[in-house]
Amino acid sequence: MNDVIRLLQSHRSVRKFTDQAIAQDALEELVKCGQSAATSSFIQACTVIQVEDKDAREQLVQLAGSQPYVASAARFLVFCADMKRHQLACNMHEADMLCGYTEQFITATVDCALFAQNVLTAAESMGIEGVYIGGIRNQIQAVTGLLALPDLVYPVFGMCLGYAAQDPELKPRLPLDVVLKKNRYDDSDDIASITEYDEQVRKYYRTRTGGKKDTAWSEQVADMLVKEARPHMLDFLKSRGYLLK
């Protein structure tokens, strides 16, 4: 196992941070690493908002569902899928951009995710830890206003970065045979594998919470997916110029 593989397989979400700062030049190197990620058709459709204003951070804590580490992390970034600059590029060449295609939404969102994962992996290589904050989509219209995002730009998720003040255990992932299929999709053995995996997850949660949480992975997923999942997102995305056709 080489150092890169070891780093990737040791990822944890960290939510408690020390007061140690992250230098601006270090942060900019991380963003450059994000820019080096694969990008669909060289579209480069990710913009990063570095939120430094304390009041804005405190507002984002509440907008993201009362997650205090949004304020306490050394740095907080918001990764935005951005087709606005592509409209500018078309205008530069007097071309009428065709907007609203679902494919544009997919490519911009995937670009954003690839960019962010490069940032976090690079950060971890420097001893900096972090956690993604999908909760900014809870009140995404308010977040959009707070960050002054124009049409064709939407906030996909946030990211806390800082030096860890905790050492969480690795969270067990699904068995390889559940996620790696050969030649065709075959889930005939998945229930047996997931049942065994459920016990690993139960043990993980018991250890992590001192016995206060005793939940299996499949139980957690089943509970989550019988509830509405941010139903406001479709109308919001349409209002930003996405998913119109």
- Domain interval for residue 152: 3-168+228-239
Regarding whether 194 and 125 lie in a shared domain, the answer is: no
| Residue 90 is assigned to a structural domain of this protein | yes
Same domain, 18 and 95: yes
Give me the pLDDT at residue 208, please. Answer: 87
**Mean pLDDT of successive 10-residue stretches along the chain, which has 245 residues:** 94 96 98 98 97 98 97 98 96 96 97 98 98 98 98 98 95 97 98 97 92 94 95 96 95
| 58 strand-pairing partners | none
pLDDT of residue 143: 98
- Same domain for 125 and 54? yes
| Inter-residue contact 44 to 35 (CB < 8 Å) | yes
Long-range contacts of 119-122 (CB under 8 A, 24+ apart): 119/30, 119/31, 119/33, 119/34, 119/48, 119/77, 119/159, 120/11, 120/159, 120/161, 121/7, 121/8, 121/11, 121/33, 122/29, 122/30, 122/33, 122/34
Q: What is the CATH number of the domain that holds 62?
A: 3.40.109.10
Q: Looking at the structure, tell me whether residues 208 and 147 fall in a common domain.
A: no
Residue 151 shares a structural domain with residue 204: no
Residue 28: CB atoms within 10 A of its CB come to: 11
The rounded distance, in Å, linking the Cα atoms of 86 and 101 is: 14
The encoded tokens of residue 235 equal 């109308």
* Residue-level pLDDT at 137: 98
Are 21 and 141 within one domain? yes
Tell me what pLDDT residue 1 has.
Answer: 87
- 236 is written with which tokens? 């919001």
- Among 216, 238, 242, smallest CA distance to 99 is for 242
State the pLDDT at residue 140: 98
pLDDT for 197:
97
pTM of the model: 0.95
